[in-house]
Amino acid sequence: QVQLQESGPGLVKPSETLSLICTVSSGSISPYYWSWVRQPPGKGLEWIAYIHSSGRTNYNPSLKSRVIISVDTSRNQFSLALISVTTADTAVYYCARGYSSTREFELDYWGQGTLVTVSS
């Protein structure tokens, strides 16, 4: 059973960079698509970006200018950086896997999520 675990600071100051890592265990990071999804408190889901194990990326247009996503296949990890954060970026951040090697957006395995609060 594939397991995903997000890690990173739970508190980030406005204008700083939010950085998260997702570690994949009990399974290979190849050859799948790996996404970041966030959920503001009490609100719906928002897809942020995905990266394929090959390094191919795709971003939500509304966040594209502030997001960097990368993968480290040797460590079975992928990461998210969101720059110049504001309080509107406060959310639970999930990492998740595409349902099969050809599925980008149908997400079957999810991390437990990590709450990131943007506050001074």
Partner 1 sequence: QSALTQPASVSGSLGQSIAISCTGTSSDVGAYNHVSWYQQHSGKVPKLIIYDVTERPSGVSTRFSGSKSGNTASLTISGLQAEDEADYHCGSYTTISTYVFGAGTTVTIL
In the complex, the residues that contact partner 1 under the rule CB under 8 A are 37, 43-47, 58-62, 94, 99, 103-108, 110-113
The least distance separating partner 1 from the CB of residue 58, rounded to whole angstroms, comes to 6
Closer residue to partner 1, CB minimum distance, 8 or 16: 8
Shortest Å distance, C-beta 45 to partner 1: 4
Sheet holding 67-72, edge to edge: 3-7, 18-25, 77-82, 67-72
CB 116 → partner 1: shortest distance, Å?
16
Burial 91-110 (b: 16+ CB within 10 A, else e): bbbbbbbbeeeeebeebebe
Nearer to partner 1, 16 or 46 (CB): 46
Burial label for 9, CB within 10 Å (0-12, 13-18, 19+), is middle
Task: Name the minimum Å distance from CB 36 to partner 1.
Answer: 11
Nearer to partner 1, 49 or 71 (CB): 49
Q: Which is nearer to partner 1, 10 or 61 (CB)?
A: 61
Closest CA to 25 of 42, 1, 51, 48: 1
